[in-house]
C-alpha cells in the first residue's frame, strides 16, 4: 500500500505478484509443454464429415501378430488337425455325423479344453495326437487369438463411445481421447455385451436346433464357455457341430478376455484411488525432506513431481536411476543440460 504518495516495500518473505506470475507461467511451460506430445502422435488430425476413424498402430502392436496372421495360424492349425483326425477317424469313438466336420469339431473342443466326451480317442496314436493338439491349441489361444480378440474389441470401442455420445456432436479427436482415457472400462463393457450376445445366441440355437429345453440349453452354454464340458449335453447334430466350430471358439475366448479386463479394471481403479490420495494429501516436513532429492534444503518443481510420482507408484527409484544414467550418457559436455549438440555428439 502507498502511504503519503510513497510506495511501501513489499513485506519480507513475500514475492512480487508479477514475479510470481512469471514464475508460474514458466513452470507451466517447462513441465507441461510436452503434456500432449505422446497424444499428438496417437491421435490423427481432425477429419471432416463422418469418415472412418483411422487406426494408428501402437509400438507394442508391431511386436504381435497381425489379425491376418492370426487367421492364417488358426487356419493352419485347424487344417492340419482336421486332416490328421480325419485320417484316424476310425480310432475315435463317439456319436459321429460328417467325417471332416467331426474332425474340425474335435479340434475345436480339444484346443479350447471343453472336452465334452462325445468324441474320444480310442487308440494310443489318437491319444498322443490329442495330447499334442491340446497343448498346441492352448498356446495358440494364449499367444495369438487374444490379439485377434483385442483387435475386434478396439474396433467396437469407437462404436460404443459414438453410441454413448450419439446426442452430442463429438469430433474424432474427442472420441479417441475418450477411448484412451477410459480404455479398460470400455473394453470390459464391450466384451461383456459381446459375451451376453453369445450366451443368448447359443441358448436359442441349442433350444431350437438341438431340441434342448431352455434350462438345459443355458446349462450347456455355461458348461461350454467355462470349459467345464460335463458331456451330458453337447452338440450332436451336423448343423449343431458346424455352428459349434465358430461359437465355442468365440465364446470361450470372449469369457477369458472379460475376466482379464475385469481384473485390469479393478487394478486401474485401485491405482487411481492411490493417485487421488497422494494428490490430495497435505505435505509434511517429513515429505519435504524425502522429496529433497539433491539434499540442498530446497524442493523445486522437478523434485516435487518426481516425489509425487514415486508415491503414486508410477515410477520407482530404479526407473529414476536408469533415466539419470541415460541423461548422463546424452550430456556429452557434462553441463547438466541437454542441447542439440549433445544429442548429435551422443548419436555419432
Catalogue all structural domains in the chain, each as residue range(s) with its CATH number.
14-64 (no CATH), 67-268 (1.10.287.70)
Q: Quick check: 241 and 235 in contact, CB under 8 A?
A: yes
Q: Quick check: 102 and 96 in contact, CB under 8 A?
A: yes
What's the CA gap between 169 and 50, in Å, rounded?
11
Q: Quick check: 117 and 88 in contact, CB under 8 A?
A: no
Cα atoms in the Cβ-side hemisphere of radius 13 Å centred on 173:
10
pLDDT tens, residue order, the chain (348 aa): 444 444 444 344 444 555 455 444 544 444 444 444 444 443 344 444 444 444 444 433 444 456 677 778 888 999 999 999 999 989 999 888 888 999 999 999 988 888 888 889 999 999 999 999 999 888 887 766 566 556 555 655 555 555 555 555 555 566 556 555 567 777 788 889 999 999 999 999 999 999 999 999 999 999 999 988 888 888 989 999 999 999 998 899 888 888 888 887 787 777 777 777 777 778 777 777 777 777 777 777 877 888 778 877 777 878 888 888 888 888 888 888 888 888 888 787
Using the Cα atoms of residue 240, residue 243, residue 245 and residue 248 in order, give the sign of their dihedral: negative
Q: Where are the alpha helices (DSSP H) in 209-292?
A: 214-225, 238-280, 285-291
Amino acid at each position: 500500500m502507498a502511504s503519503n504518495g510513497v510506495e511501501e516495500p513489499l513485506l519480507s518473505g513475500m514475492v512480487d505478484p508479477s514475479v510470481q506470475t512469471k514464475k508460474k507461467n514458466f513452470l507451466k511451460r517447462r513441465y507441461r509443454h510436452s503434456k500432449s506430445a505422446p497424444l499428438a502422435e496417437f491421435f490423427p488430425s481432425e477429419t471432416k464429415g463422418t469418415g472412418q476413424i483411422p487406426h494408428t498402430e501402437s509400438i507394442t502392436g508391431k511386436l504381435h501378430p497381425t489379425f491376418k496372421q492370426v487367421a492364417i495360424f488358426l487356419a493352419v492349425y485347424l487344417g492340419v488337425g482336421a486332416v490328421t483326425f480325419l485320417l484316424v477317424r476310425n480310432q475315435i469313438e463317439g456319436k459321429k455325423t460328417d467325417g471332416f466336420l467331426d474332425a474340425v469339431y474335435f479340434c475345436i473342443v480339444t484346443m479350447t479344453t471343453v472336452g465334452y466326451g462325445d468324441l474320444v480317442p480310442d487308440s494310443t496314436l489318437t491319444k498322443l495326437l490329442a495330447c499334442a493338439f491340446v497343448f498346441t491349441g492352448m498356446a495358440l489361444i494364449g499367444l495369438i487369438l487374444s490379439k485377434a480378440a483385442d483387435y475386434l474389441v478396439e474396433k467396437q470401442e469407437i462404436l460404443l463411445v459414438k453410441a454413448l455420445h450419439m446426442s452430442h456432436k463429438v469430433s474424432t479427436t474427442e472420441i479417441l481421447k475418450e477411448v484412451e482415457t477410459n480404455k479398460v472400462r470400455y473394453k470390459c463393457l464391450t466384451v461383456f455385451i459381446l459375451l451376453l450376445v453369445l450366451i443368448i445366441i447359443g441358448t436359442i440355437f441349442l433350444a431350437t436346433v438341438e431340441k434342448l429345453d431352455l434350462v438345459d440349453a443355458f446349462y450347456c452354454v455355461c458348461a461350454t464357455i467355462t470349459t467345464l464340458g460335463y458331456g451330458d449335453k453337447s452338440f450332436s447334430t451336423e448343423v449343431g457341430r458346424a455352428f459349434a466350430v465358430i461359437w465355442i471358439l468365440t465364446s470361450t475366448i470372449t469369457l477369458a478376455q472379460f475376466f482379464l479386463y475385469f481384473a485390469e479394471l479393478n487394478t486401474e481403479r485401485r491405482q487411481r484411488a492411490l493417485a487421488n490420495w497422494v494428490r490430495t494429501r497435505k505435505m509434511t516436513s517429513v515429505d519435504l525432506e524425502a522429496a529433497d532429492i539433491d539434499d540442498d534444503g530446497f524442493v523445486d518443481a522437478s523434485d516435487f513431481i518426481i516425489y509425487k510420482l514415486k508415491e503414486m507408484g508410477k515410477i520407482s527409484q530404479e526407473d529414476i536411476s536408469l533415466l539419470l544414467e541415460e541423461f548422463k550418457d546424452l550430456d556429452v559436455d557434462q553441463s547438466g543440460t541437454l542441447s542439440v549438440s549433445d544429442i548429435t555428439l551422443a548419436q555419432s
